[in-house]
Amino acid sequence: MASQGRAYYDYIVVGAGTAGCIVASRLTEDPRISVLLLEAGSSDVNDFRVKNPTQILSCIGSEIDWKYKTVPQKNALKGYKNNVCDWPRGKVLGGSSSINGMAWVRGHYADYDSWAKQGCTGWG
């Protein structure tokens, strides 16, 4: 998405994955704040692979994946060539959440409670 021609922004958020989008959204709850959200990849809005979780394998190694590999594992990944496997990470609006086949894992409750105790209202 193109910028609106601003000379400056109050905040620049690099990476429009799950966390980056949430941070940008929370910052813009104050209408006086301007935020530039940068993403290296394309939009996921019209990508059929993102909209259809059965297409997860077509995302791996594609242009919407950073194409990372693990380092060789001495005592793991024995079924993989050179003990190395793909480590898919989303290079697309929505980040890795856009290429994960709609898998969702909630964080540990103690983390959220700890954040709330430290002053992050609404995170408990």
Question: At the top level of CATH, which class does the domain 40-117 belong to?
Answer: few secondary structures
10 DSSP assignment: S
If you average pLDDT over residues 26-50, what whole number do you get?
A: 94
* pLDDT range class, residue 4, cuts 50, 70, 90: low
Whether 3 shows a pLDDT value over 60: the answer reads no
User: So where are the chain's domains?
Assistant: 40-117
Measure the CA–CA gap between 39 and 29, rounded to whole angstroms.
Answer: 20
Question: What is the helix (H) or strand (E) element at residue 24, kind and residue range?
Answer: helix 18-27
55-111: per-residue pLDDT in tens?
A: 999 999 999 999 999 999 899 999 999 999 999 999 999 999 999 988 888 889 999
Q: How many CB atoms within 10 Å of residue 44?
A: 21
